[in-house]
Each structure stands twice: as C-alpha cells, then as structure tokens.
Amino acid sequence: MTFNERYASLLDKCVTSLTTWKTFIQENLKEQEYDIEATKLRDITRQYCEIDNNFQRSGEAIKLVENAVSDPSQNYDIDAMYQENLLKQDIKDPTRNEIWQQICCDDVAVRVIKPKKQKNNEHYEEVNDSVMCSSSFSAPIDPISKRVIRKPLRNRKCKHVYDSQSIYDYIRQSGRKARCPYVGCKNNSLAPDHLQEDSQLEQRISQFLAQQETDSSGSDEDSD
C-alpha cells in the first residue's frame, strides 16, 4: 500500500467516525448538550479539513519538485525547492473542503445550532427541524471536480449532491465500480438512475453566484 493509499484509508476512517458522531448528536441530544457537542464536532472537523488541505498542498509541491529534478548530474537543494513550491500553493478555506461540506453542511448551506428562542427570526428560515442563517449559504463543491456545483443532481440513496457533468463522466469511466465519491460515504453502488435533479438547490446556487458576481462588480468599481 502506497503512502497516499494509507492516507486515504485513514482519512476515510476519520470521516466515518465524524459521521457517526454527527448522527448520534442529531438523534440523541437536545438543547445544551446538543450545542456543546455540535460545537466540538465543528471544531474537530475544521482541524481534519486543515490537515487534508495541508496534505494536498504538500502533494502539489512535491509534484512540482519531481518535475523540476530532471538532470541527474545536477546537485539540487530538494528542501529549498520543496519549501519554495509549497509557498506557491494557495491556503484554502477549510470550510470549502469536501469533509466540511459532508459533515457540517446540509448540501445546501452551513448548518448552525438551533437556538432555544429566536425573537427576531427575519434572517432565519426553518429547514428540517434545524435553523440556518440565510446569509450563510455556501454553494456546494463537487467532490470530483472540486468546483462549485452549477447543475446539481442528488443521489436518491445517500442524498449527496454532485455536478451533473462530472458525475455522469465519472459513472461512464468507472462503470460498475462507480460509488459515491464523497469521502467516508458507505454507498458503494452508483448508477445514473440513482440521480435526480434538485431544482430548489439549483435556484439557490444561481442566486448565490449572481450575488457574488454583483459583489465582485461593485468591488471593482470602488477600486477604480
């Protein structure tokens, strides 16, 4: 087993543990106990996301070093080359990592703890016995392309969401070996007839992207 395979196996076990923890919280805890454990879960999940992001950054830096070391007659300072290439890698927001999307998001928006009493609820909306802040909506990231999902398809079996183009390409390439690509998901069977359109989510994503474009245009005008 290669190092990357060992890492993937360990990460899968960690995500499975987080998923079990999340299910226990949702099904067994209430009020203060729920709040405490939910906060702990988010904190631990963020740490795993940061570790995974750093692993990916290191992997990209190593690839760049390997590509640059091509002449065996040269003496290379591998450590310096690695550090230089590592600094070139973007430091990603842990909440954009697919682990965070799977554990701390409802495939639609970032979940927040349900308050005991909410006097002013004009900024909140009910979703499946939980409360989420409308302004906290974050377009889901496709687990295959690592890009924002624009045309969402939801898995009928495990409820995960994918981008239409990438998931159909993945199924076509993988054939009978296709499984849900989300880390830690136990759904080992994936076929086109398992997928259904999610028009409500697609509408929210479109609104989110349109708002981002508007905000970006406003920032450009302010800088001129």
Q: Determine the Cα–Cα distance for residues 2 and 84; give it in Å rounded to an integer.
A: 25
pLDDT digits (tens, 9 = 90+) for 5-58: 888 888 889 999 998 998 898 889 888 888 889 889 999 999 999 999 999 999
Instruction: Supply the pTM of this predicted model.
Output: 0.53
Residue 127 has pLDDT above 50, yes or no: no
Are the CB atoms for 184 and 18 separated by under 8 Å?
yes
Secondary structure (H, E, C), 115-145: CCCCCCCCCEEEECCEEEEHHHECCCECCCC
Task: Output the CA–CA distances (angstroms, integers) from residue 87 to 51, 60, 97, in the order listed.
Answer: 16, 11, 19
pLDDT reading at 191 higher than 50: yes
Provide the pLDDT for residue 197.
Answer: 93
133-162 residue pLDDT tens: 334 567 788 889 888 899 999 999 888 999
| Cα distance between residue 50 and residue 92, in whole Å | 8
Separation in Å, CA 37 to CA 130, 156, 177: 15, 29, 36
pLDDT at residue 55, rounded to an integer:
92
Domain map (residue ranges) of the chain: 8-106, 152-214
